[in-house]
Amino acid sequence: MALQRAGYTMFPVLNLAVGGSGGGDARQGSYPADMLIDWVRVW
Helix, strand, or coil (residue 25): coil
User: What pLDDT sits at residue 6?
Assistant: 64
Q: Is the pLDDT of residue 3 over 60?
A: no
| Cβ contact 40:14 at 8 Å | yes
Q: How confident is the model at residue 38 (pLDDT cuts 50, 70, 90)?
A: very high
* Tens-place pLDDT, residues 5-29: 667 777 889 888 777 677 677 787 7
User: What pLDDT sits at residue 10?
Assistant: 79
Cβ neighbours of residue 37 closer than 8 Å, sequence gap 6 or more: 14
Judge if the upstream peptide bond of residue 32 is cis by omega within 30 degrees of 0: yes
